[in-house]
Structure 1
């Protein structure tokens, strides 16, 4: 089964303005480059997590101003991966960014899509590999989410879970940025889904007519209502870098771990 990665990086990053480059290229921590210690852009941790999951074909969704991302990653040769770039012409949100990939995916065969946010960190760095393993082992599973304990319930997609006696975790509800704390301490932060859900997402978006921006968590909720089964794998933690406060916490966490959040 073919596997593809999606890195949505078309956002304007206004919460970090005035930043002279793409927020996904913000250096947090270090990497070894040609035998020397060099800065590591935050998005590279997600790229490396996809590589660990054997996701070698990756789509970057960017806007026309984010040429620094293309200049750094190029065609993926340095990472032994294949990178493609799609332009989101208007800032219409995350779901619209994901839809840019649909025309470039196989039409007559099943595939997997791996999704993550390129301005975040998560542990373990093998989490995407675990998600892929779980969805491949479960014929009736359409989506598997990486979920993480969090106190920032008002900013994330809070995810209610049901766990059976064998340790299998199923998602029963998702509420994006709730106004009151729900009865769960977990939020989702990464995902793997089958081609069936990509088709559902594409069709659902075409029929969506509300004024509010459609968020991915809402599509997951609708998928559950339509009989899709969503599993979950619990991660250790999830760090966003989209605001000054979150970025400061990520840098502190990085420094506490010796500068290599992903164990490079």
Structure 2
């Protein structure tokens, strides 16, 4: 399974930083030499691995080589690849950059690297055979992409940062078979489309007869891309239930040390 991590954005909401926002320290975890800071994007990578991903692709901008230096060739049991998005022209462009790497019979999961959410194993609740969205309840859905469902949990529309929405459930990650990934990419590449946001592209997919489901398996979600969100993430991690430790194996594709994952 591929995990796609779109990490090419400027991070203008939380600047100035001297490094990529995906490496912003949020919380800490045990390490063989004691305790070490945890980059915010590690929470997503670990959740992807818990959900079955064994290959991770970071999509970065030309100026974000620090992400490559931080993660190297692997993270625990997952190999890591990198694709470059030359210009920050939207989430869809970033998500579909790894298309040449993904076979139609593989599974793809996509998440946002500046978010922290629980439960950590929620991706396992998404089906492998269709486009599905992992949903989280939030107090202000108008700030996110609110997902509307019918009585059978099928997605009827995604409202992208609209002031008036009927659903308080937003998507935090999504999953699909490789052939659906490529079909969405083909739709996006049409001259009349080139959507910036996943939500508007999925609305077009639905209008042409495609389908998607929403899974309300998320409990907490924080966008760490603002100072307020950063503080909220620290609070969320501090309020977690008693953690247990999961160790990702070391020595995989150049990883010199084990990385112990602390998950609630």
> Could you tell me the TM-score, scaled by structure 1's length?
0.87
Partner of 1:151: 139
The question of whether the paired residues in 2 share the 8 Å contact of 1:125 and 1:262 is answered with: no
Matched, 1:128 2:112: no
The answer for the alignment partner of 1:263 in structure 2 is 263
Q: Is it true that 1:17 corresponds to 2:10 in the alignment?
A: no
Q: Deviations over 1:22-45 (max 9, x none)?
A: 111111111222152111111001
Q: Who is 1:215 aligned against?
A: 197
Shift of the alpha carbon at 1:195?
2.1
Q: C-alpha separation between the residues in 2 aligned to 1:129 and 1:88?
A: 29
Deviations 1:186-241 (A, max 9, x none): 1111000122322222222221436x952101111111112222112111121110
- Distance of 1:54 and 1:175 partners within structure 2: 29
Is 1:114 matched up with 2:109? Answer: yes
Q: Pick from 174, 186, 203: which aligns with 2:158?
A: 174
Q: Which of 46, 50, 53 in structure 1 is aligned with 2:51?
A: 53
- 1:259, distance to aligned residue in structure 2 (A): 9.9
Paired residue secondary structure (1:135): coil
Tell me, what secondary structure is at the counterpart of 2:36? strand
What is the match of residue 187 of structure 2?
Answer: 204
Matched pairs, number: 246
Name the structure 2 match of 1:225.
207
| Distance verdict in 2 for CA 1:20–1:258, change over 3 Å | farther
1:189 and 2:172 aligned: yes
Shift of 1:175: 0.8
Partner of residue 139, structure 1 = none
Give the deviation of 1:144 after TM superposition: 0.8
User: Using the alignment, how far apart are the partners of 1:149 and 1:114 within structure 2?
Assistant: 20
Secondary structure of the residue that 2:143 maps to in structure 1? coil
Q: Offset at 1:127? A: 1.0
Distance 1:145 1:154, change over 3 A: same
Superposition RMSD on alpha carbons, in Å? 2.0
The answer as to whether partners of 2:148 and 2:157 remain within 8 angstroms in 1 is yes
1:30–1:259 CA contact under 8 A, matched in 2: no
Mapping of residues 98-113 of structure 1, within 5 Å? 98-106=95-103, 109-113=104-108
Any unmatched runs of 5+ in structure 1?
137-141
Q: Residues 255 and 84 (structure 1 numbering): CA distance in 2 closer, same or farther, change over 3 Å?
A: same
Deviation at 1:162, TM superposition (A): 2.4
d(CA) in 1 for partners of 2:241, 2:185? 42
Whether 2:86 is the aligned partner of 1:89: answer: yes
